[in-house]
Amino acid sequence: MDVVRNRSLDRGITLLDALARNGACSLGELHKSTGIAKSTIRRLLATMIDRQIVRRSLSDGKYRTNVSMPSGHIEAPTFEQMLMVDIAMPYLMELTKSVEWPSDLHLLEDDWMRIIDSTRPLSPFHLYRGQIDRKINQFGAAGGIACLSAMRDRKIAYRIERLGNHRIWGLARFSMLPEQFWQEIETARGRGYGARLHDYLGDTIIDDSLSAIAVPIIWRDRPVGAATMLWPRTYLSAEEFAESFLKPLNETAAAIMKELDAHDRKSVQGS
């Protein structure tokens, strides 16, 4: 029995399969791996982006899948995570256009933070290009400390204990005892933002030479990520930078959280 195939649907699934197997891809990489004409890929991707099945990251211009495929090894983000990205990035882009310093958007996951997108390409300051979907240590990164400081103490203690002496994702990476880290949490709570640990040089092969401050994004009464701002470490201390730029960063995070809450209210009203 002949099977009637929809050519456009088949090609769309082929693109999703390539993204699931290979991870982030440029237009040229998708063309090379699938053999589909670039004009067709553009048209199909535009539809999938509009339907939030695929996203194109601002930081590197590559396409990423938002859905899991049977043949893929790339873990797709949850609907809630992608909703936060869609809502947050326009505000972070406006922030960078206003203050010029770039922002990374961090997502909070169980064992680490994840850089999900960045406005670094929009900044006139040519900082180290962070890799999208990079996992970063939650105890060392500004975004991680911002999120942890917004949690209840028992949840922070659980994360510290669960990761134990892990040399990459735990406090052992910084030769830091839990009681020392609690001091960092109290400091972050007192000043209203998270800052990188002194010994944290980024999760890159070489020191990225950057400093960062971050504030949490609270949604549904829990921290789900963080909005950060970055600058060269030698330029200003975290305290000096925050004196000039914490206010617009807080205003941006507040606008993101307000829109996330508004989305939930509309969803309840429409159900």
pLDDT in the model for residue 60: 82
Residue 3 has pLDDT above 80, yes or no: no
> Is the pLDDT at 71 greater than 70, yes or no?
no
Residues 6+ apart with CB under 8 A from 93: 58, 119, 122
User: Residue 1: its pLDDT value, please?
Assistant: 41
Q: What angle do CA 119, 66, 108 make, to 5 degrees?
A: 60
Cα 18 to Cα 6, 41, 65: the distances in Å are 18, 12, 9
| pLDDT value for 70 | 65
Check whether 94 has a pLDDT greater than 60.
yes
Domains of the chain, each with CATH number or no CATH: 7-65 (1.10.10.10), 79-270 (3.30.450.40)
pLDDT one-digit tens code per residue, 12-41: 888 888 888 888 889 999 999 899 999 999
Question: What share of the chain in percent tops pLDDT 70?
Answer: 93
Q: pLDDT (tens digit, 9 = 90+) per residue, 171-195?
A: 999 999 999 999 999 999 999 999 9
Whether the predicted pLDDT of 2 surpasses 90: no
Query: Strands across the sheet with 113-118, in order?
Result: 135-136, 113-118, 104-108, 222-232, 210-219, 194-195
In terms of DSSP H, where are the helices of the chain?
Answer: 7-22, 27-34, 38-50, 79-99, 142-149, 153-163, 178-191, 238-270
Quick: pLDDT tens for 117-169. 999 989 998 776 667 888 999 999 999 999 999 999 999 999 999 998 899 99
Separation CA 91–CA 220 (nearest Å): 19
- The structure tokens listed for 153 are 């103490």
* pTM check: above 0.95: no
Q: Which two tokens stand for residue 189?
A: 């709570």
Please tell me the distance from the alpha carbon of residue 203 to that of residue 121, in angstroms, as a whole number. Answer: 19
Q: Within a 10 A sphere around the Cβ of 80, how many other Cβ atoms?
A: 13
Cα separation, 103 vs 96, in Å, equals 7
